[in-house]
Structure 1
Amino acid sequence: MEKMKYDVVVVGGRVGGSTASLFASKKGLDVLIIEKNQEIGVPVQCAEATSSSTFKTLEMKPSSKYVCNEIKGADVYAPDGSHGHLEGGYAEGFILERKLFDKHLAIESAKAGTDILVKTTVKDLIRKKEGVRGVVAKHMDHTLEIEAELVIAADGIESQVAQMAGLNTRQTPHSLCSCAQYEMVGVSCDPHYLQFYFGQKIAPGGYVWVFPKGDGVANVGVGVRSDTTSAYSFLRKFTSQMNATPVELNIGGVPVHGPVDKTYTDGLMVVGDAAGQVEPFTGGGIHVTVLCARIAGEVAAEAIEKGKTSENFLKRYETRWKKEVGGDLKQSLKYRRIMDRLTDEEMNILAKFLKKQDLESISKMSMLGFVRDYPQFLKLLKEIL
């Protein structure tokens, strides 16, 4: 058995893992990324949209190397086909080519000093009385014993590494949104605006998205929570009405129940999908993951510098990310639960109301008038207010 030693081992080389390793390496730590796939960035498991805050957190400028398109807003469609238009603000951002973006982050991390092992899987954790102290991994035909002061688990939904350490990262069918997405050629849409479609018949418990990548290419996907019909079936039904050709299919799950209960333990932190650091309402997670992963990398540097890697010290990781995005994630979960309870008819009514409003400054008077006309919304609006 080959033995290795690092300050930090990061399990998972996608956005969360590469961001954590990047900032840990910038702080002078000796870091290793372990990635189970033979190429970082594939297969794609994302609709590929993100906000400008992602690049501010990364301290990078958006590059045409991996940015397909700039987004100025969005059109949101109710079940009856009526739609509202959002301009700028939250709906503004970029469409990425994740195959290139994820690899770019890994390359930047490597330039900062991170070592990377692809096609490598974790088989067990190294445990000592102080807690987690590394991993046992399989690289090709070789078994590696990799000692480390800290492990960062960025290994996706239901993180096996976190579970090995005793943390509960398990998801349920209700807490996951099942997703299927085509990359399609020949899609007719405004290249700078996202499209969202809601309705129980096309996407129960979720929505359909059309994210333009430019030159008639777009990601067309469906996220659902359904016990009877697969996301892929809903995707095929929706795209059957389009005169466009699929060139790629990706299927996966997104955690939409909020963060897991605990994202740290002795010698280990959890980031990204593994930690449930995803907006429950939209299912978007790149900007959240990047922020939390940067904090994990910085806390790792503090912990190792001070020789304190117990959960009492690593708790500051969770304290910091909750301070930054915890409130937003709770609010997003509240909105998702409200949407879960709306019928298609109620969605249509709400859409017509919102279409007439300035979403930045909806007045209490307009809400009171709306509730007077539609008293069934009173309880829902109380939750929002």
Structure 2
Amino acid sequence: MSTLYDVIVVGAGAGGSAAASLLARQGADVLLLDKSAPPRDTVRCDGLMPQGVYWLDRLGCAPEVVAEARGCIKSCDLYLEGDHLLTGRFPDDTAYPDFALLVLRCRFNEILQAHAVSSGARFEGGTLVRGVAWEGDGVRVFADADGKAVEHRARIVIGADGPSSAVSRSIGNSLKDGVLGLSVRTTYAGVKCDAGIRVYFNRDLFPSYGWMFIDEHQSACVGVGCAVDPKFPPADNLGPALRQFIDTDLKAALDGARRIGPFSGGIAPHFRPKAMVADGVLLIGDAAGQADPLNRGGIHTAIESAFYAADACRLALEAGDFSRAGLARYQALWSTHSESDWRTSEIFMSLAKNPGLKDLALFLLQQVGTLGEADPRFAGFASGVFSGVVSQSSWLSARALYQAAPKDLGTWATLLRENSSTRSSATAGAVRLLSAAVASAARSGAGLARKPAASLDWALEVLTKTITLADRRFSTPHASASSLGT
């Protein structure tokens, strides 16, 4: 008879390793499984947003990650049609630190996995989980290890095995059955730019966008990403889009640099699965589609969900109830603390993914950038919402919008001057601004009209999601999370 573990965690990425650490520290017998065995061979440098640093500090391994950081970034540069539009800083008046970190993903994963092992979890690499099955008193885990079929048993299984989650399929979810975030990226060395994060929007790429993370060792992660669904498939393969982005927007920045990594693709689901909880099973991170739909960030959302999952598992183990009802606290915690922002981001993503809206979207982005460049406080709010440091549902709060909006008339005058050919006449600027808004709206309307059936489906989708969010905000009870991290 195989060992009956308290918890088996499938996937040793950020969320899975964090969950294993938390549960092992609480005294649970934890087995952490992953299809890969360290070291993972990658030169990719990823951005860890302020929320990620916060949750790592709660987890207890922030110092190790900070020591490995290849850049500490306090601002992000936004480019529109090749021109610098805005430098946005992370706000310093939130619960999160006012900086992001650039970290090699391989080292980041190794640190979190080692933290789980030092906390008392057992790790087995080279184990590919094929599925799980509930037996009434626990869960059987079916896997392949070293070419042989193996089985493990646990009272609870946490699926942290990414967007192609075998655990998720086993509880009845259909994968890739909604909006997906697709990306392709590569790595350069010898980049002669200051360390930082750059985000690029332009009409040719939209609704895709490009980015470049430049670390202090003159290496850069370069990529493009977009949100797609069956109604709005990508116009082209993202590989050619990345090449175009490199050859145009990044031509000057990458002059003299050399590519040191292959083109590699990524995928993240941005839709709620049919079930996040089942008898004996929880899903976290990308397995649960929890990456931020607005900025595509998935590391910090995975670690945050690990805290909620560990809390629910602890109580279930104490009560001896591993049923769906016994684990329901996990979904209640996630819903209380994360769902409003996630659903707000989902609406933004739904709006942005329609290519017919590109003219209006880019026009609005231009105006937000102009205001932000003239008013640092507003820039901090806009940057904070995009990064998730500021609650994304703040956009739905009249009070929050009023507090963030520029109060200095001179800032608004700057917006008008920027839209005037002479940059001296506010009246001329107002006329040009209004004309540009009307023209952008007209072009977007024409774009929507070219695909009437898809546009009608899209409009109903946005309306449904908006109603769902409004209903949730006014009717969902809150769950206490006072014991998290203990």
TM-score (norm 1): 0.87
Matches within 5 A, 1:200-279: 200-202=203-205, 204-224=206-226, 225=228, 226-240=233-247, 241=251, 242-243=254-255, 244-249=257-262, 251-255=264-268, 257-279=270-292
CA deviation after TM superposition for structure 1 residue 256, in Å: 5.1
Matches within 5 A, 1:50-61: 50-51=49-50, 52-61=53-62
Q: Which residue of 1 aligns with 2:191?
A: 187
CA distance in structure 2 between the partners assigned to 1:251 and 1:48 by the alignment? 17
CA deviation after TM superposition for structure 1 residue 285, in Å: 1.1
Larger radius of gyration: 2
Give structure 1 stretches of 5+ with no counterpart: none
CA distance in structure 2 between the partners assigned to 1:42 and 1:16 by the alignment? 20
* Partner-residue secondary structure (3-state), 2:12: coil
**Match 1:349 to one of 363, 383, 392:** 363
Q: Which residue of 2 aligns with 1:29?
A: 28
Q: Which residue of 2 aligns with 1:362?
A: 405
CA deviation after TM superposition for structure 1 residue 41, in Å: 4.7
Structure 1 259/94 Cα, relative in aligned 2: closer, same or farther at 3 Å?
A: farther
CA distance in structure 2 between the partners assigned to 1:337 and 1:103 by the alignment? 35
* Partner-residue secondary structure (3-state), 1:295: helix
Structure 1 229/305 Cα, relative in aligned 2: closer, same or farther at 3 Å?
A: same
CA distance in structure 1 between the partners assigned to 2:267 and 2:336 by the alignment? 23
* Higher relative contact order structure (alpha carbons within 8 Å, sequence separation ≥ 6): 1
Structure 1 65/11 Cα, relative in aligned 2: closer, same or farther at 3 Å?
A: same
CA RMSD of aligned residues (A): 3.1
State the Cα deviation string for residues 108-141 of structure 1 (Å, max 9, x = none). 11011111111111233243135x5131222114
State the Cα deviation string for residues 205-239 of structure 1 (Å, max 9, x = none). 33111111212111111113453422222112222
CA deviation after TM superposition for structure 1 residue 146, in Å: 1.1
Q: Which letter does structure 1 place at the counterpart of 2:366?
A: K
State the Cα deviation string for residues 334-365 of structure 1 (Å, max 9, x = none). 22223234644434422332122442322599
Percentage identity across aligned positions?
A: 25
Q: Which residue of 1 aligns with 2:453?
A: none
Q: Which residue of 1 aligns with 2:85?
A: 83
Matches within 5 A, 1:1-385: 3-39=2-38, 41-42=40-41, 47-51=46-50, 52-63=53-64, 64-79=66-81, 81-89=83-91, 92-130=99-137, 133-166=139-172, 168-172=173-177, 175-191=179-195, 193-202=196-205, 204-224=206-226, 225=228, 226-240=233-247, 241=251, 242-243=254-255, 244-249=257-262, 251-255=264-268, 257-341=270-354, 343-354=357-368, 355-357=370-372, 358=375, 359=378, 360=381, 361-362=404-405, 374=437, 376=441
Where is the helix percentage greater, Structure 1 or Structure 2? Answer: 2
Asked if the contact 1:256–1:279 (Cα under 8 Å) also holds between the matched residues in 2, the reply is no
CA distance in structure 1 between the partners assigned to 2:291 and 2:198 by the alignment? 20
CA distance in structure 2 between the partners assigned to 1:44 and 1:325 by the alignment? 31
CA deviation after TM superposition for structure 1 residue 38, in Å: 2.2
Q: Which letter does structure 2 place at the counterpart of 1:143?
A: A
Higher mean alpha-carbon deviation, 178-187 vs 85-94, is at: 85-94
* Partner-residue secondary structure (3-state), 1:39: coil
Asked if the contact 2:37–2:126 (Cα under 8 Å) also holds between the matched residues in 1, the reply is yes
Structure 1 43/32 Cα, relative in aligned 2: closer, same or farther at 3 Å?
A: farther
Structure 1 41/335 Cα, relative in aligned 2: closer, same or farther at 3 Å?
A: farther
CA distance in structure 2 between the partners assigned to 1:331 and 1:83 by the alignment? 25
Asked if the contact 2:182–2:268 (Cα under 8 Å) also holds between the matched residues in 1, the reply is no
CA deviation after TM superposition for structure 1 residue 19, in Å: 0.7
Higher mean alpha-carbon deviation, 84-93 vs 265-274, is at: 84-93
CA distance in structure 1 between the partners assigned to 2:182 and 2:290 by the alignment? 17
CA deviation after TM superposition for structure 1 residue 44, in Å: 7.4
CA distance in structure 2 between the partners assigned to 1:160 and 1:53 by the alignment? 30
CA distance in structure 2 between the partners assigned to 1:45 and 1:307 by the alignment? 42
Asked if the contact 1:264–1:270 (Cα under 8 Å) also holds between the matched residues in 2, the reply is yes
